[in-house]
Structure 1
Amino acid sequence: METKQHKILIVEDEESIQKLLAITLQQANFDTILAVDGEEALEKVLDEQPDLIVLDLMLPKIDGLEVCRMLRKQNIETPIIMLTAKGEEMDKIVGLEMGADDYMTKPFSPREVAARVRAVLRRTGERGQSNEKVLVSGQLTVYPERLEVYLDKERLEFTPKEFELLVYFMKNPNRVFTRDQLLQAVWNYDFAGDTRIVDVHVSHLRDKIEENTRKPRYIKTMRGVGYKFGE
């Protein structure tokens, strides 16, 4: 039986980078679609329905952050990997807050591009095939199959990556994880990644589930080590 090729939308206005991404992903057995600005990207998402979007931040007409925000506002949950330049630390954080699943900093290696795309697709595929039971801790209830989280009967909204991190924590209560372990387990990276992405997502989770983020009830910081989930 022939395996379906994943369709990747590359949104990049710099021709040399666009070509590098397209060739790299095609060699890795992905189908590629191209867009050079934010408006075209939004059209291609609706028309082509890609499996993943590689999205540059600095785009003509509509920038990458706004494209991400508009897609998530329309409840389009297609995984997004953002491309950022060095020094755009705040843009990375804002992008993650708007629902991006991951980011890469230019310049990047072709090997990293393919690995990141595979990791995100693998994670989202596993999420769709999950058959987990309801997870409960204190007033927090998570339904993995329905992608729903409730805190004392109030439904909370999470990005796909925040949801996956929370589920991983709740499936492993009272276990201490280093940032590298969380990066490997949740982001599926087989190489050294930027552990700051873990801290950003933990901070977002705390903002949503903790009554007092300075004295967290659920996600505790283990100084010099990492994090532990446990009521």
Structure 2
Amino acid sequence: MHVTIVDDQPDILDLYEQMLGQHFRVTCICEPQKVSPFLKNNQTDLLILDVNMPVMDGFEVYRVVRVDFPTLPIIFLTGMNSTEIAVKGLSMGADDFIIKPVSIEELIARVKNKIIKSKVAYANQETLIKLDNFELNCNKQQVILDGREVSLTPIEFKIIHLFVSNRDKIFSRDFISDYIWNDTKVQMQNIDTHLSNVRKKLSPFSERIKTIKSRGYVFK
């Protein structure tokens, strides 16, 4: 996974490169006007933008980048603890807004989450999925099993769509919570209830959803 970080302070970039470089391939850019040309010639999975840059601030860089890269995951990073600034960044369409100081563990987790979620969203663009006696139609929000339509709630449909679109990928409860509700704080009991309903309604096909102890769930 390739992460590009933009900050006008070289010492800060060096620190991020040391910390994140153990988990990702990292490119650091200290001149914001060079970001868009770099992205046009180099594949990257996620962009981290510092908001407070004097020549060209993070918001301006964001606008320029979005013209050519509308789906690239972008995270804003700032030392200003301002609700107004955070709302501005998220309203523009940023994937996350992080207030410094932030622990390296949290930053790594957020970056991984956004990259994986982006790849899942790309995989989920397929509108018609057929697997043996199972058929899922995204346009109609419809599931057919053994030739008969199965009535699913919107959340149940989203859950089974996530799994059948991403075979052999393990999804943690936190990821499912964030993917379905955009909130990792949803009670785990709610996730278990919805998964249980999906398994009952789509049995025996749903037996392909396996529980991986201490890790989450996977569709085989």
TM-score when normalising by structure 2: 0.58
Shift of 1:189: 9.3
1:134 aligns with 2:131: no
Shift of 1:93: 1.4
Paired residues, number: 151
Is the contact made by 1:115 and 1:189 (CA closer than 8 Å) also made in structure 2? Answer: no
CA-based RMSD? 3.3
1:171 aligns with 2:165: no
Shift in alpha-carbon separation, 1:187–1:40, aligned structure 2, 3 A: farther
2:3 to 4, 8, 18: 8
d(CA) in 1 for partners of 2:61 and 2:155?
29
Instruction: Percent identity, please.
Output: 28
1:119 aligns with 2:113: yes
Q: Deviations over 1:126-170 (max 9, x none)?
A: 111124532569xxxxxxxxxxxxxxxxxxxxxxxxxxxxx8698
User: Aligned AA for 2:11?
Assistant: S
Give the corresponding residue for 1:58.
Answer: 52
User: Aligned AA for 1:120?
Assistant: K
1:109 aligns with 2:103: yes
Deviates more, 1:119-128 or 1:43-52: 43-52
Matches within 5 A, 1:29-40: 30-40=24-34
d(CA) in 2 for partners of 1:111 and 1:77?
25
Matches within 5 A, 1:82-101: 82-101=76-95
Shift in alpha-carbon separation, 1:62–1:86, aligned structure 2, 3 A: closer
Is the contact made by 2:178 and 2:184 (CA closer than 8 Å) also made in structure 1? Answer: no
Give ranges in structure 2 of 5+ residues lacking alignment: 128-136, 142-153, 160-173, 186-220
Q: Deviations over 1:176-199 (max 9, x none)?
A: xxxxx899422999977xxxxxxx
Matches within 5 A, 1:63-78: 63-78=57-72
Is the contact made by 2:155 and 2:180 (CA closer than 8 Å) also made in structure 1? Answer: no
Give ranges in structure 1 of 5+ residues lacking alignment: 1-5, 138-166, 173-180, 193-231
**Moved segments of 4+, more than 4 Å:** 167-170, 187-192
Shift of 1:54: 0.8
Give the corresponding residue for 1:227.
Answer: none
d(CA) in 1 for partners of 2:118 and 2:18?
24
Shift in alpha-carbon separation, 1:38–1:88, aligned structure 2, 3 A: farther
SS of 1:72 mapped into structure 2:
helix
